[in-house]
Amino acid sequence: MIFNDQELKFINEAKERAEKLYLDGDYLCSEAVFTVVNDYLGNPLPPEAVKLASGFPVGMGTAGCTCGALSGGIMALGIKFGRTQPKGEMPEMFRVSKELHDEFKTKFRSTCCRVLIKDFEFGGLEHIQQCTYLTGQATEMVMKKIILAKRAV
C-alpha cells in the first residue's frame, strides 16, 4: 500500500490523536479508536455514540478477551462499511473486518488482551505504554483501510 503525503499526514494525525486520547485518560482504547475515526469521517455518528465502544476496553469489560483497540477498530470500520437496513448487503464490512483482525494478529501474534498485556503490571507504566501503542496501531490500520476505500470510489 502506497499512500501520498496528504494521506500519510491524516493517518499519522489520527494515530497520534488516538494515542493521546488514551494516554491522557480521556478515553480507553476502543473509545479512542472509534472517536478518532468517527471524527475523521465527519462525525456521521454523534459524539455520544462513543458510548457504544465503552464496554470493550480491557478485553470486553475486563474479561481479558479481544483487545479493545481491535474491537474499537472494527466498530469504527462499521461507520464506513456497515449496513443501515435490515437484510442489507455488507460484503465490504466482513472483508475489512477480517483484514483488520488478520493484520492485527499477524503484527502482534494475538488479538487477546490478556496475552497482549501479560508481561506488564496492570495499570503500570509499561501496560499504559503498550495499550497506547496498540490503540495507535489499530487506528492506523483502520485509517488505511478507509483511505483505500475512498480512493476506490
**82-129, pLDDT tens digit by residue?**
999 999 988 899 999 999 999 999 999 999 999 999 999 999 999 999
- Looking at the structure of the chain, the number of domains it has is 1
Q: Rounded to two decimals, what is the model's pTM?
A: 0.96
What's the CA gap between 127 and 11, in Å, rounded? 24
- C-alpha distances (whole Å) from 153 to each of 6, 146, 147, 149, 150 are 18, 11, 10, 7, 5
Q: What is the pLDDT of residue 1?
A: 73
Q: What is the pLDDT of residue 117?
A: 97
Q: What does the DSSP 8-state code read for residue 52?
A: G
Q: What is the pLDDT of residue 153?
A: 73
Q: Which domain holds residue 42?
A: 5-152
